[in-house]
Each structure stands twice: as structure tokens, then as C-alpha cells.
């Protein structure tokens, strides 16, 4: 099996890397994430101008018609740069839900807006007390009005429109809501990895249903895509954390020699590399499955489980091997650990995915939690 990127895919990856590295050095990244918005509109416009925001949308709707290999390449570069732009939360996730459920006119309008960068959306699904893979969806939709509260809405503070899951007479539906509409109250906050989230309350908020029938499978398929994207982002973050650690070992001196002369430290760095390659292989596994049209939650869980384990191992070792400087806010390695930790707890942590995989083989007791 060939895992090499094509010339076009390599060009895409290199272009995204160039845009992000040109903008984000350590100090600039700190300044941007400390702003009220938390990301840079100039970078967002650059991503729109080169077609990244519409990468996965059909060409008829203003996109490029690309697939999982392309969007995971973008996510890997976002992970390497720690770029805070809401590509996953504001474009990929709501865009995939709109593409799967909306009528032609609505789909063209919304996807066109997302691709141009003029429209921001967010998916409001989780509620208080939810633990993946379960979601009770207590928010209700009656006669075009939503009532309920959604939590942990990624970049819900800056969204123009929301895709909201709500319970109906025929199951769970997806609804389109104007974020500034009457009856919508947003409480924004900064997450521990310096991203943005929101709690959103709906009180008789006007909503338009997207599609018909129960949307549970559509949401499940979207979560597989989210898991795959997060795995790719984590690989990029792990790559950079390892690179920084190796560079530090080669330059930092102790007892008159560089740290790379100490065998214990080089062995620990080698263990980090092993964990990275395990994570990369599982990320590729999930990506190629999705590219082949196999939208399997079990495959996504296999990949995410390894990402959780490798991300923790690499992130913690990177901080520890930098010594005291690794704990400072001014040095970026700790922020990679924060982001990897956030990824590992999004849509299930390691224990959750072990449970999912155990149930898939019907032998929970024989699976060891790592």
C-alpha cells in the first residue's frame, strides 16, 4: 500500500505549512491566542484565498472536492504550528453536516459562505452530563422552536450560524439557528489549551430543520470524521514536540557536554519517536479507511486510542526533558502538551475507546486499560 502523498497533495501540505509558519512564531502565537477572538482573521483570509476552507466541499458549492487525505494533511500542519484557527470546529464539522442534510439551495449558500471565509458555523451537540459515545440530546424542537442548553461548543462564541441537535417526535434532528437570534444566549470562555468554547442556551429560539428523519447516523458519521481529523492534528503536534526536544538535547549543555551525550536521554527520545510512528500509522489507517469510503467508528476508536497513549507519552516527555523551561508559558513545548491533552479528551479518552473496542469484540474483561 502506497502512503506517499501525490505531487498535488504535497504542494497543498507545503502551502499550508508556509502560510502558518510565516505567521506564527512563539510570541505572535501567544499574542493572538490572548486576544478576545483567539485567532487571526488575516490567516483565516489566507486559508480562504488558497482554497483550504472549501477544500472538502463539492466544486458546485464553491469547494475543491478533496477528500480525507487532503483535509488530514491540513490538520497535521495545524497541529505542527499550534494554529488556533477554527478550521475543524467552524468549517469541517458543520460543513459536513450541512452537506449531508441540507437541500440544494441551503447547501450551496452555506458551503459557499464557509469556503469564502465570510461565514462561521459551529456544531452544538454535547449537553451537561454527556460522556462519549453517549449523548442524551435533551434539547427539544417543537414547532420550529428550540429549548435546551448545549455545552463545550467549540468556537461557538464566534459562529454566525449554529447546527444544533435536538429531539423531535421522530428521533434526533439537526437544526439551523442564527447565533444572534432572539432566544439564543452564548457564554464564551477560553479552554485550557487556549482555544475558545461556549455554552449556548436556547429559549424558544427559531430554527430551521436540516433534512428529515432521524439524524443519529449522520452525527455518528461526522464524529468519525472528527476523530480522524483530530488524530492527524495530534500527529503534527507530536512531530513538533519531538523535533523541539531533539534540538534541545543537541544544544543544551550540562557538565561540559550536550545532553545528547547522555544515553538515558537519547533512549527516552528514541521511545518518543517510536510512539510517534505508532500514532502516525494509526492516523494513516483511519484516514485511508475514510478515503476508501469506510466510515467505521471502530476504526476511528482504534486510531484515537493510540493517539491518546502516544500524545500523553510524547507530550509529557517533551516537557520533562526540557527541564524547568518546559513548564514556562513563554516556551511553546508545554502548549503542545496542553493541546495533545485536549485532543485526547475530545470525543472520548483512552478508557472510553478501550471500552468501545472491548464491546466491539464482546470481551470487555480481557482488555487491559493502558
Q: 357 with 266, same domain?
A: yes
Q: 183 with 322, same domain?
A: no
Q: What is the chain's mean pLDDT, rounded?
A: 94
Give the residue from 199, 200, 197 showing the smallest Cα distance to 181.
200
Q: Are 318 and 272 in contact (CB under 8 A)?
A: yes
Whether the per-residue pLDDT at 254 is higher than 90: the answer is no
Q: What is the CATH number of the domain that holds 55?
A: 1.10.540.10
* Strand 184-190 with 171-178, pairing: unpaired
Q: 177 with 245, same domain?
A: no
Q: What is the CATH number of the domain that holds 201?
A: 2.40.110.10
Tell whether 1 is covered by a domain: no
| 284-333 pLDDT tens trace | 999 999 999 999 999 999 999 999 999 999 999 999 999 989 989 889 99
Q: 182 with 254, same domain?
A: no
Could you tell me the CA-to-CA distances from 359 to 99, 219, 305, 349, 363 in Å, in that order?
Answer: 31, 20, 14, 16, 6
C-alpha 286/C-alpha 9 separation (Å) is: 18
Q: 52 with 18, same domain?
A: yes
Q: 17 with 59, same domain?
A: yes
Task: Give the mean model confidence (pLDDT) for residues 120-137.
Answer: 93
Domain end, chosen from 214, 246, 277, is at: 214
Q: 70 with 86, same domain?
A: yes
Whether the per-residue pLDDT at 178 is higher than 70: the answer is yes
Whether the per-residue pLDDT at 352 is higher than 60: the answer is yes
Domain of residue 281, residue span = 217-366
Q: What is the CATH number of the domain that holds 265?
A: 1.20.140.10
Q: Residue 261: what pLDDT? A: 84
Tell whether 317 is covered by a domain: yes
Could you tell me the CA-to-CA distances from 217 to 30, 156, 208, 221, 299 in Å, in that order?
Answer: 39, 23, 19, 6, 16
Dihedral sign, Cα of residue 288, residue 223, residue 152, residue 302: negative
Q: Residue 55: what pLDDT? A: 96
Tell whether 164 is covered by a domain: yes
What is the separation of C-alpha 81 from the centre of its chain, rounded to a whole number of angstroms?
14
Model pTM score:
0.94
Q: 109 with 147, same domain?
A: no
Task: Give the mean model confidence (pLDDT) for residues 56-74.
Answer: 93
Tell whether 344 is covered by a domain: yes
Give the residue from 114, 131, 29 showing the smallest Cα distance to 80.
29
φ/ψ region of 204 (left if φ > 0, alpha if ψ in -120 to 50, else beta) reads left
Tell whether 356 is covered by a domain: yes
Q: 81 with 14, same domain?
A: yes
Q: 249 with 278, same domain?
A: yes
How many domains are contained in the chain?
A: 3
**Cell numbers for 138:** 435533551
**Helix/strand/coil (H/E/C) assignment for every residue in 263-302:** HHHHHHHHHHHHHHHHHHHHHHHHHHHHHCCCCCHHHHHH
Tell whether 334 is covered by a domain: yes
Confidence of residue 2 (pLDDT cuts 50, 70, 90): low
Domain end, chosen from 78, 100, 116, is at: 116
| 201-229 pLDDT tens trace | 999 999 999 999 899 999 999 999 999 99
Q: 249 with 131, same domain?
A: no
Identify which has the larger pLDDT, 59 or 200: 200
Domain end, chosen from 83, 116, 149, is at: 116
Tell whether 2 is covered by a domain: no
Q: Residue 363: what pLDDT? A: 52
Q: 254 with 352, same domain?
A: yes
Among 56-65, 103-112, 354-363, the range of highest mean pLDDT: 103-112
Amino acid at each position: 500500500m502506497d502512503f506517499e502523498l501525490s505531487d498535488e497533495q504535497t504542494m497543498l501540505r507545503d502551502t499550508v505549512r508556509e502560510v502558518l509558519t510565516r505567521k506564527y512564531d512563539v510570541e505572535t502565537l501567544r499574542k493572538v491566542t490572548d486576544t478576545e477572538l483567539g485567532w487571526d482573521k488575516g490567516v483565516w483570509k489566507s486559508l480562504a484565498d488558497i482554497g483550504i476552507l472549501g477544500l472538502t466541499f463539492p466544486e458546485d458549492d464553491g469547494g475543491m472536492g478533496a477528500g480525507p487525505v487532503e483535509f488530514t494533511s491540513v490538520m497535521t500542519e495545524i497541529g505542527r504550528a499550534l494554529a488556533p484557527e477554527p478550521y475543524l470546529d467552524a468549517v469541517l464539522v458543520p460543513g459536513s453536516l450541512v452537506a449531508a442534510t441540507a437541500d440544494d439551495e441551503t447547501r450551496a449558500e452555506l458551503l459557499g459562505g464557509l469556503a469564502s471565509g465570510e461565514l462561521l458555523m459551529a456544531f452544538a451537540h454535547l449537553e451537561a452530563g454527556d460522556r462519549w459515545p453517549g449523548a442524551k440530546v435533551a434539547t427539544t424542537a417543537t414547532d420550529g422552536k428550540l429549548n435546551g442548553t448545549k455545552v463545550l461548543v467549540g468556537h461557538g462564541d464566534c459562529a454566525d450560524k449554529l447546527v444544533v441537535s435536538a429531539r423531535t417526535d421522530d428521533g434526533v434532528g439537526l437544526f439551523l439557528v442564527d447565533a444572534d437570534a432572539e432566544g439564543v444566549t452564548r457564554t464564551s470562555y477560553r479552554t485550557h489549551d487556549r482555544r475558545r468554547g461556549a455554552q449556548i442556551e436556547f429559549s424558544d429560539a427559531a430554527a430551521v430543520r436540516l433534512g428529515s428523519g432521524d439524524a443519529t447516523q449522520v452525527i455518528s458519521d461526522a464524529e468519525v470524521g472528527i476523530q480522524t481529523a483530530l488524530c492527524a492534528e495530534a500527529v503534527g503536534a507530536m512531530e513538533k514536540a519531538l523535533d523541539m526536544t531533539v534540538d534541545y538535547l543537541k544544544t543544551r549543555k550540562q557538565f561540559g557536554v550536550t545532553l545528547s551525550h547522555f544515553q538515558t536521554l537519547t533512549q527516552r527520545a528514541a521511545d518518543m519517536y517510536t510512539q510517534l510512528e505508532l500514532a502516525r500509522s494509526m492516523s494513516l489507517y483511519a484516514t485511508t479507511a475514510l478515503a476508501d469510503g469506510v466510515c467505521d467508528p471502530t476504526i476511528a476508536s482504534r486510531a484515537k486510542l493510540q493517539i491518546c497513549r502516544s500524545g500523553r507519552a510524547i507530550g509529557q516527555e517533551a516537557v520533562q526533558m526540557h527541564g524547568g523551561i518546559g513548564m514556562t508559558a513563554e516556551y511553546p513545548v508545554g502548549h503542545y502538551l496542553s493541546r495533545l491533552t485536549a485532543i485526547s479528551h475530545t470525543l472520548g479518552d483512552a478508557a472510553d475507546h478501550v471500552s468501545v473496542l472491548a464491546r466491539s469484540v464482546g470481551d470487555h474483561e480481557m482488555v487491559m486499560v493502558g
